Each structure stands twice: as structure tokens, then as C-alpha cells.
Amino acid sequence: MADAAAAASTKPPSRAARRLRALLSEPKVIFGGGFILILIILAIFAPYIAPKDPLEQDLMSGTLPPAWLNGSDPGFLLGTDDLGRDVLSRAIFGTRVALTVAFVAAGLAALIGTLLGLFAGWYGGWIDKVISRLVDIWMAFPPVLLSILLVAVFGSGVHSVIAAIVIIDWTRFCRVIRSETQAQAQMDYVTAARTIGFSRAKILFSEILPNVAPVLIALVSLEMGIAVIVEAILSFVGLSVSSDTPTWGGMIAEGRQIIYDGWWVLVAPLIALFATVLAFNQLGDGLRRALDPVMRR
């Protein structure tokens, strides 16, 4: 009885437990993921967290400095813009657009690019040639200019921004996953699966896909940061959501016009944008290190 209990106590941890332990031991995952979690909370509960209505104007309180500078109003922690709108509240509400575009666009681009990359890398032949040539043609266009063109054609709005990012950035996933799939196809476990009698589709989705998942997860995190930048660029040039919706890119465009009278209007969204992109990049790098057994050695 004692021997059985001892054997049970020395049972090795499950695969999920080992991965969770690896994630929690990676500082980049903790800090990057923690910051993204805070942003998600801000985006969901923005109406309750923001101290003011982000659209409320008070021309008598225009360009008030942040609370720690002379001539400020304690009610406006990060000051106001030229229309008297609270900068902090607008920055908080700006997380909604940024994260919506980041998660949806990155998810759809990953889905399309991963499927095409898996098919190209595994089946090869004419399938690989067609997909590879399509990727080469697609990547010949400058991504920022193409995104501006697509949004101009589709019209402004979050859906147009997401569609533009997906249409452009699926190639990033396709190329990387295709290369990883080709490398995994040469592994011994694939040969063993063929010997057992697994179909090609089953080998692809039940054997190869889980082994390229660490790379895919890291790519998705990096793509989220890129999507945030693209949305900010489109908002900056007025091709994202309507001007009534607070966005970081729109705030940067507004702050640029009054930089000498209200530099804080420009600095606040710039810091939020920089910190968010950095957090996504750190999270992606940390996930890659934690989930990839080769990099953990």
C-alpha cells in the first residue's frame, strides 16, 4: 500500500502541467501577458473605469495640462485636448478598437495563412507551387500602402481595417508554417504514423499541426502587435473608424496639430501604442521560448 502511494506521488507531471510550469517560469510571458490582460480589462470595463465621457467637450477646459503640472485641473489626470475632452478617458476607450483589431485580424490571418501553409508544406507538388507563387506576388506590394488602398476601397470602419490586415498578413503565416511543416514532415514520428496507416490528412492535423503550434502561437502574438500599428496608421490618416470613436492613431493625429500647446495629447497615445506593441512582442517571444522544447534546452 505504501509502495503504491509512493509510486503515485512520484508520477511525472502531465504534458499540460509541464507547459503551464514553463509558461509561468518565463518572465516575458508574465510581463507581456500581464500587460495585455490589463488592457483587456480596460477595454471591457472602459465605461466604468474611464473618469469622464471620452466624447464630452468643454471648450473652456481646452488644452489643460496633466494633473502634476501648473495650471492643471485635478479632475483631468492626463489633461485635455483642444476641445476639452479628457485624454485619459479617450486613451482608455482607444484600447477597445486597438484590441478588437488585434485579436480578430490576427486570428483570421492566422487561420487562413496556417491552412494554406500546412497544405503547401505537406502535399507539395502543384499545390505548393500555386500557393508559393501567390504568396510571392502578394508580398511584392508594400503592406502599408496596400492596406491604405484596401481601406479606401472598402470604406472606413473597423471591419474594413480588419479585412485589409487579413488580406495582407496571411502571407506571413503561410510562409513560416509552410517551412515548419516541411521540416516536420521529415521527422521520425511522421514516418511512424505512415507505417501505422494514418491518412495524410490525419497526420497533418493530429501530428504535424500540434508540433508547429508553438511557432504559430508566437506568430499570432507578434501579428497582434503589427495589427495595432496598422490600425493606428490608418486612424492617423483618417481611414479607420469614424472621428467620433476614440483611437490612439486619431489622438496622435490630433495631438500633432497642437503639439506646442498640448504635447500631452500626443504623448499619451504614443506611450500606450509603444507599450502595447512591446507587450505583444515580448509575449510572443516568451511563448516561443516556453512552448518550443528545442529553445528550452
Query: Which pLDDT belongs to residue 292?
Result: 63
Residue 4 lies in a domain: no
Residue 278 lies in a domain: yes
Kindly write down the DSSP assignment for every residue of 243-284, as one continuous string: TTS--HHHHHHHHHHTTTT-HHHHHHHHHHHHHHHHHHHHHH
Query: Which pLDDT belongs to residue 194?
Result: 85
Query: Which pLDDT belongs to residue 15?
Result: 57
Query: Which pLDDT belongs to residue 70?
Result: 84
| Angle of helix 15-24 versus helix 27-44 axis, rounded to 10 | 90
Residue 141 lies in a domain: yes
CATH number at residue 150: 1.10.3720.10
- Read off the pTM: 0.85
Q: What pLDDT, in 10s, does the model give residues 51-77?
A: 988 888 888 888 888 888 887 788 888
Residue 225 lies in a domain: yes
Residue 13 lies in a domain: no
Provide the domain count of the chain.
1
Residue 153 lies in a domain: yes
Q: Which residues of the chain have pLDDT under 70?
A: 1-20, 22-24, 292-297
Query: Which pLDDT belongs to residue 6?
Result: 47
Q: What are phi and psi of 80, to 5 degrees?
A: -130, 165
Query: Which pLDDT belongs to residue 143?
Result: 75
Query: Which pLDDT belongs to residue 2?
Result: 47
Question: Nearest 5 degrees, angle CA 180-CA 182-CA 187?
Answer: 95
Residue found by looking up cell 478598437 in the block: 97
Residue 248 lies in a domain: yes
Which domain, by its residues, includes 213?
22-296
Query: Which pLDDT belongs to residue 110?
Result: 92
